[in-house]
Amino acid sequence: MDYLASVEIEPNVPATASVIWLHGLGSNGHDFEALLPHLQLEETSPIRFIFPHSPTLNVTINGNALMPAWYDIISLDTSRKINETQLMESAQKVIDLVEREISRGIPSERIILAGFSQGGAVVYQAGLSYSKPLAGILALSTYFPTAEIIQYSDVNHNMPIEIMHGSYDPVVIPKLGEMARDDVIKAGFKPHWRTYPMEHQVCMPQIEDISAWIKQTLS
């Protein structure tokens, strides 16, 4: 199996849970690695963190430049025209990582999928269509471009879905985050929505909330 190259941070004790965390456009798996100390997890926390690196693709909105991307973005209007085939391929690669964690002894119910911006769009597709129960989804400053075509899986209707967005985000405007939330609700899920006074980024109050949510979800 050709898995996505990833940064993997092993816990100090044998892992019994995993968080697979996807970066945004133009970044890489090291991006959110730097947040780990700020999550203030206990020394005995049994969580393995996996930060995959995206493929390198031509991105239309950036002058067709070659850069790290989970899929091509063709236009930046509210409809967000994208290359759906590439997004689906990235979502399958994430599911492959989930399956690898299961093969390493981590129950699917102990695996969180997290993603920022483009990474969050992939996580929505992968997590909400996955055929096995997951621990939860963490969607950061993102949107849900495949909401009209996704084949939802019934097994995850009760999993926690935490959606966080910046009130002043000029890249993925809050309206897109709200639309994703509403689409998820329409599909029968019960997401929790939070906003922060920030742009397209993360902030310390949010990191504290992420820490509390991960601890609660994987307790």
∠ CA 183-188-190, nearest 5°, is 85
Q: What is the pLDDT of residue 40?
A: 92
Q: What is the pLDDT of residue 77?
A: 74
The DSSP string of 71-128 is: S-B---STT--B-HHHHHHHHHHHHHHHHHHHHTT--GGGEEEEEETHHHHHHHHHHH
Q: What is the pLDDT of residue 219?
A: 87
Tell me the three state secondary structure of residue 29: coil
Q: What is the pLDDT of residue 99?
A: 98
Report the chain (219 residues): mean pLDDT per 10 consecutive residues: 94 97 96 93 94 96 95 83 96 98 98 98 98 98 96 93 98 96 96 98 97 96
Domain ranges of the chain: 6-218
Q: Decide the pairing of beta strands 161-166 and 136-140.
A: parallel
127-146 pLDDT per residue, tens: 999 999 999 999 999 999 99
> Residue holding tokens 């926390």?
45
Active site residues: 117, 169, 200
Tell me the three state secondary structure of residue 15: coil
Cα–Cα distance measured from residue 158 to residue 195, given in angstroms and rounded to the nearest whole number? 22
Q: What is the pLDDT of residue 76?
A: 75
Q: Which residues contact 182 (CB under 8 A, 6 or more apart)?
A: none
CB hemisphere CA count around 85 (13 angstroms): 1
Cα–Cα distance measured from residue 102 to residue 96, given in angstroms and rounded to the nearest whole number? 10
CB hemisphere CA count around 118 (13 angstroms): 29
61-95 pLDDT per residue, tens: 999 999 999 999 998 776 779 999 999 999 999 99
Q: What is the pLDDT of residue 1?
A: 79
CB–CB of 142/172 below 8 Å?
Answer: yes
Q: What is the pTM of this model?
A: 0.97
